[in-house]
Amino acid sequence: MAEKASLRTRLRQLPRVKAEFPYFDTDTAPDEPIALLLEWLEAAIEGGVLQPDAMTLATATVDGHPSARTLLLKDVDATSVWFASLSSGPKGLELTENPEAALVFFWREQGRQVRLVGTVEEGPRSVSQQDFLQRQPNARARAIAGRQSEPVEDFDKHLKLGEKKLQADPDFVPIDWVAYQLTPWSVEFWQAERARDQVRLRYLREAGGWVKDLLWP
């Protein structure tokens, strides 16, 4: 029987996406990155990308210990990207200690990534309340029932307490539910292409505005 190839070899031989990726004309890219982010996000939605709103959020403690997780984009405005979480959970505590974070969108079907690094702050309470009330009832009950990322003890009991709380007060919003906005100082657009391998366009925010640079792959 033939010896099985090493994991390293098998990983290198995995099939890649064979679709024709979009052409990234960096010469016509807008002067600021949010406009391009919205353009690419719209293309991902219209192009049928699976969960185009999924993004990886990386945070770190004040001592520099990093953590990352995937969550959902909630909104994009003229200057910021929005997400929501419990401020009492790990990511919320890390953002309190160290209000800098990184976000990554990966749209596999289109060979695209967008990387953002910036400062995070809490949005208005009204936005947090609106976001929570738009969640599905079971998601709201789970957020009320237990402490995020803590060990589960008698899940069903606590979930029923959360459901009971919502039945008594359908508009209840935990005080620690927060809509966060990340205002980037660096945004990089990464496009895989057959002819050019990878095209990377980075925006850096400086005193006079945004500066664009092409990066080596």
At which residue do the structure tokens 């599905």 appear? 136
The pLDDT tens digits for 86-131 are 998 999 999 999 999 999 999 999 999 999 999 999 999 999 999 9
Q: How far apart are CA 76 and CA 116, in angstroms?
A: 13
Question: For residue 152, what pLDDT is reported?
Answer: 57
Question: For residue 94, what pLDDT is reported?
Answer: 97
Where does residue 32 rank: exposed (0-12), middle (13-18), buried (19+ CB within 10 A)? middle
Decide if 52 is inside a domain.
Answer: yes
Decide if 105 is inside a domain.
Answer: yes
Residue 120: give its domain's CATH number.
Answer: 2.30.110.10
Decide if 158 is inside a domain.
Answer: no
Decide if 137 is inside a domain.
Answer: no
Q: Which domain holds residue 100?
A: 26-126+177-215
Decide if 147 is inside a domain.
Answer: no
- Which residue type does 166 have? L
Quick check: helix, strand or coil at residue 95? helix
Decide if 73 is inside a domain.
Answer: yes
Decide if 200 is inside a domain.
Answer: yes
Question: For residue 3, what pLDDT is reported?
Answer: 79
Counted domains in the chain: 1
| Cβ–Cβ < 8 Å for 81, 119 | no
Q: How far apart are CA 135 and CA 86, in angstroms?
A: 13
Distances (CA, A) of 119 to 3, 15, 81, 95, 170: 51, 38, 11, 9, 33
Decide if 77 is inside a domain.
Answer: yes
| Predicted structure pTM score | 0.89
Average pLDDT per 10 consecutive residues for the chain, totaling 217 residues: 85 83 94 98 97 98 96 97 94 96 97 97 97 89 70 68 79 92 98 83 96 94
Q: Residue 117's closest CA among 33, 38, 29, 177?
A: 33
Question: For residue 149, what pLDDT is reported?
Answer: 55
